[in-house]
Amino acid sequence: EDQVTQSPEALRLQEGESSSLNCSYTVSGLRGLFWYRQDPGKGPEFLFTLYSAGEEKEKERLKATLTKKESFLHITAPKPEDSATYLCAGGLGGATNKLIFGTGTLLAVQP
Partner 1 sequence: DSGVTQTPKHLITATGQRVTLRCSPRSGDLSVYWYQQSLDQGLQFLIQYYNGEERAKGNILERFSAQQFPDLHSELNLSSLELGDSALYFCASSVGAGRDTQYFGPGTRLTVL
* Nearest-approach distance from CB 101 to partner 1, in angstroms: 4
Contact segment (CB under 8 A) with partner 1 among 10-18, 53-61, 62-70, 102-110 equals 102-110
How many residues would you count in the chain? Answer: 111
- Which residues lie below 8 Å from residue 28, measured CB to CB, with a gap of 6+? 2, 92, 93
- State which residue, 2 or 72, has the beta carbon closest to partner 1: 2
Q: State how beta strands 62-66 and 70-75 pair.
A: antiparallel
Q: Which of 36, 66, 70, 78 binds partner 1 (CB under 8 A)?
A: 36
* Nearest-approach distance from CB 98 to partner 1, in angstroms: 5
Give me the residues paired with residue 6 across strands. 23
